Structure 1
């Protein structure tokens, strides 16, 4: 099996920066829980086990089949005596036993091709299981980082609210003293409501991302993850989209699974062609039987009896007598009958297909269609991944470029907010200018946080496509 494939180049830096919180799950712990509990991954394991059993069953067909049979019955009424073949009308019991062997010698290489087909299917199922594992780890990682992103956004929303509250206290004091514009107080009260609504929305987003991670881990308990002391720095991605796609073709198990399914479909065509070939088999059989009517006649002596005939001597009839043997009837024991009635047969059978309603032709055509479908499925998978890689790469590059633009924007809005805050506190500017400046700064900080996580997430997606190794 190829190397275990997973995630991103900078994962070791991320893991080393985690806190050792006792109450929160690390990324590695979340991944292990998902592998142990995720239902889709468990089902992929069951499919892999099923394909392995199918392969073993097909391999076992090279062995001859040996079957035994036994029957015991009681007969009443008119029937044929199985011992004498006479018509009788009495109750008796009978029994039959047999042993039969069949061995296929040649069937157009159907069995050989079937074994190879099921071997490919077994290996494909194992590759698909690994692909499911890779996808699961990616999904858990993205969900984990989404929680971190939403957690940061919630903290920003809370800071916005606290900042607004501080200014509210000052405006309220001025309003109570009858100084300033009364509308300033109502405007900033509206801003507080807006900031509170933003906190509620951020809390809901965090809860939703927690639920998504819990679903992947298939657990009902509340999810709590570790904090990161620092996030990885934003650095330019070293590879092009074409290079990422090239590595994905070599490393991702999803492509290996598709290729193995294609190989299995090719073997299936060869299996169907064997329907045109004769089948040669060896067979052997042993049979025996028992009847309660079977018996032996044992001679016990002789007796002079009249034959019913006469001879005439000088006009006198004399009865003709003869010695007649006397017999006694003895039932034949069960085991003796089985031994005495034993028979065997062995031979070779050849089944030559002459006409089967075009079944063989239809079967070959059907398997060729399925082969073509497997080829198209592989091609479609390549196209889908190539498109997804290009989209992820473009999104990553856009986030990278936008991150530095937003850094400059945040710096500009921070200075603008600082100036407007001083002006507002000194009564030089009004509340509207202050709120606009504050909202601009808050939005730019949120956009910067979103962009940073967007870049990190896209990097992880691209490294997943590359098949980067996961180091715990």
Structure 2
């Protein structure tokens, strides 16, 4: 009984492992896996952790400092004694103390440094979000490329089956004397050409899967595959919005603009921090010190108690002249502020141009897709008409093959236009503010 249970567990484990290997990935799973494992995103997350440490550093400027010290000194050598002359003496001294300091006023430098650290942390979060958006878009594009190559292969295989059936039908017509043998040879040549096209399409599909697997850092390339679903054109409701409305939403939601805005705010804080150098600094201090010497009649504890002392007070430091150092720091900070303002304007212009181009691409791809569908319908009708004429001997094999090739090209154009349209819609949705987690096909 025990052996049966163990064997059952092994079989079930193997079946589960096999099922895991042959898992078909959806777009959402691919995007989430990339977000969880992408190296650039992990580095971005580490950058956000660094900014949290910087915030704690800035917060520490408000807190008092406390330092303890202890020292034991041994002195040995000849010393002059007025009574006995030179003697070889050895003395051991002990000392210790505690020092505390607190910045009372520093021209608001500490407050402004903490504010800057907060802005830096927010900017790091926006940069991380921008990384995630770019990775998600890259995954979506690579995923759609897999779908395109797979659907293209399916079209070629279907046409290959039709060509094979056409060979049998033509063979019967040739045997009956209705068609010349040259027509059969023409179709057989087409069949072999399609074999080459299928091999090329299979290679393209394998490479597309490999690219996606590498992007996701999946090691099991051979068993990696995407979900086998009928991917229809999604609702293009995003195009119901005007391009101006999409641009406004992009300005409010896109991380590129938020990063530029945060960088400008950081530069503004840098100017204020630099100006703090003009202000006086007030610090408070408290010191406690004591000492003792070994090899004396008085007990060490008593010495530490008798010889201790404290000092406390407030110090004021007023900057008068420092070789234009503070002034130069302020000027540099102001220049960086102007640069950040220019960068913010440039970011808005770039984003606006990208949105307009994406909107135009989406509109154009929709028109191209609809035109490709109409062309396909026309090619299907023309092919059916040509097939009827070919079957009764009114059309030679060369002209018939030309009509069929036009049909294959029309089907490929539909597939290409379809996935290009889907991708352009996804890009526009991201600019509109649709979260990465809600990207769907």
Give the TM-score, by structure 2 length.
Answer: 0.85
Q: Do the aligned partners of 1:121 and 1:260 also contact (CA within 8 Å) in 2?
A: yes
Query: Does structure 1 residue 227 correspond to structure 2 residue 193?
Result: no
Q: Following TM superposition, by how much is the alpha carbon of 1:399 offset from its aligned partner in structure 2, in angstroms?
A: 1.3
Paired residues in the alignment total 411
Cα RMSD after superposing both structures = 2.8
Q: Give the structure 2 partner of residue 125 of structure 1.
A: 124
Which one has the largest radius of gyration? 1
Secondary structure of the equivalent of 2:193?
Answer: helix
Q: Give the structure 2 partner of residue 303 of structure 1.
A: none
Q: 1:177 to 1:359 in 2, by over 3 A?
A: farther
Q: Give the structure 2 partner of residue 467 of structure 1.
A: 433
Task: Specify every segment of 5 or more residues in structure 1 that has no aligned partner in the other structure, as ranges.
Answer: 1-21, 82-86, 296-329
Structure 1 residue corresponding to 2:411, chosen from 440, 445, 462 = 445
Matches within 5 A, 1:285-364: 285-293=287-295, 295=296, 330=297, 332-364=298-330
Q: 1:233 to 1:365 in 2, by over 3 A?
A: closer
Tell me the alpha carbon deviations over residues 222-281 of structure 1, each in whole angstroms, 9 at most, x when there is no partner: 332222235135657201222211111112233223212211111011001111222111
Q: Give the structure 2 partner of residue 298 of structure 1.
A: none
Structure 2 residue corresponding to 1:427, chosen from 393, 397, 407 = 393
Give the structure, 1 or 2, with the largest relative contact order (CA under 8 Å, sep 6 or more).
Answer: 1
Q: Following TM superposition, by how much is the alpha carbon of 1:138 offset from its aligned partner in structure 2, in angstroms?
A: 3.2
Q: Following TM superposition, by how much is the alpha carbon of 1:434 offset from its aligned partner in structure 2, in angstroms?
A: 1.5
Q: Following TM superposition, by how much is the alpha carbon of 1:348 offset from its aligned partner in structure 2, in angstroms?
A: 1.7
- For residues 198 and 80 of structure 1, the distance between their equivalents in structure 2, rounded to whole angstroms, comes to 107
- For residues 360 and 57 of structure 2, the distance between their equivalents in structure 1, rounded to whole angstroms, comes to 49
Q: Give the structure 1 partner of residue 205 of structure 2.
A: 206
Tell me the alpha carbon deviations over residues 34-82 of structure 1, each in whole angstroms, 9 at most, x when there is no partner: 222122222111111111110111011101111111122323335899x
Q: Following TM superposition, by how much is the alpha carbon of 1:343 offset from its aligned partner in structure 2, in angstroms?
A: 1.5
Q: Give the structure 2 partner of residue 327 of structure 1.
A: none
Task: Specify every segment of 5 or more residues in structure 2 that has no aligned partner in the other structure, as ranges.
Answer: 1-21
Matches within 5 A, 1:105-184: 105-171=104-170, 181=180, 183-184=182-183
More helix per residue: 1 or 2?
2
Q: Give the structure 2 partner of residue 313 of structure 1.
A: none
Query: Does structure 1 residue 93 correspond to structure 2 residue 95?
Result: no
Q: 1:168 to 1:109 in 2, by over 3 A?
A: same
Q: Do the aligned partners of 2:236 and 2:425 also contact (CA within 8 Å) in 1?
A: no
Q: Do the aligned partners of 2:127 and 2:255 also contact (CA within 8 Å) in 1?
A: yes
Give the TM-score, by structure 1 length.
Answer: 0.80
Q: Do the aligned partners of 1:39 and 1:218 also contact (CA within 8 Å) in 2?
A: no
Q: 1:196 to 1:133 in 2, by over 3 A?
A: same
Q: Give the structure 1 partner of residue 34 of structure 2.
A: 34
Q: Do the aligned partners of 2:234 and 2:422 also contact (CA within 8 Å) in 1?
A: no
Secondary structure of the equivalent of 2:73?
Answer: strand
Secondary structure of the equivalent of 1:62?
Answer: coil
Q: Give the structure 1 partner of residue 265 of structure 2.
A: 263
- For residues 80 and 230 of structure 2, the distance between their equivalents in structure 1, rounded to whole angstroms, comes to 95
Q: Following TM superposition, by how much is the alpha carbon of 1:384 offset from its aligned partner in structure 2, in angstroms?
A: 2.0
Q: Give the structure 2 partner of residue 74 of structure 1.
A: 74
- For residues 147 and 354 of structure 2, the distance between their equivalents in structure 1, rounded to whole angstroms, comes to 24
More strand per residue: 1 or 2?
1
Q: 1:292 to 1:80 in 2, by over 3 A?
A: farther
Q: Following TM superposition, by how much is the alpha carbon of 1:462 offset from its aligned partner in structure 2, in angstroms?
A: 0.5
Tell me the alpha carbon deviations over residues 343-380 of structure 1, each in whole angstroms, 9 at most, x when there is no partner: 11112222222222322122112222222222222222
Q: Give the structure 1 partner of residue 285 of structure 2.
A: 283
Query: Does structure 1 residue 396 correspond to structure 2 residue 395?
Result: no
- For residues 191 and 209 of structure 2, the distance between their equivalents in structure 1, rounded to whole angstroms, comes to 27
- For residues 80 and 160 of structure 2, the distance between their equivalents in structure 1, rounded to whole angstroms, comes to 103
Q: Following TM superposition, by how much is the alpha carbon of 1:195 offset from its aligned partner in structure 2, in angstroms?
A: 2.0
Query: Does structure 1 residue 57 correspond to structure 2 residue 57?
Result: yes
- For residues 162 and 352 of structure 2, the distance between their equivalents in structure 1, rounded to whole angstroms, comes to 46
- For residues 47 and 262 of structure 1, the distance between their equivalents in structure 2, rounded to whole angstroms, comes to 19
Q: 1:369 to 1:425 in 2, by over 3 A?
A: same
Q: Do the aligned partners of 1:234 and 1:400 also contact (CA within 8 Å) in 2?
A: no
Q: Once structures 1 and 2 are overlaid, which stretch shifts more, 456-465 or 201-210?
A: 201-210
Q: Do the aligned partners of 1:234 and 1:452 also contact (CA within 8 Å) in 2?
A: no
Q: Do the aligned partners of 1:76 and 1:91 also contact (CA within 8 Å) in 2?
A: yes
Q: Following TM superposition, by how much is the alpha carbon of 1:30 offset from its aligned partner in structure 2, in angstroms?
A: 2.3
- For residues 25 and 118 of structure 2, the distance between their equivalents in structure 1, rounded to whole angstroms, comes to 40
Tell me the alpha carbon deviations over residues 428-448 of structure 1, each in whole angstroms, 9 at most, x when there is no partner: 222221121111111111111
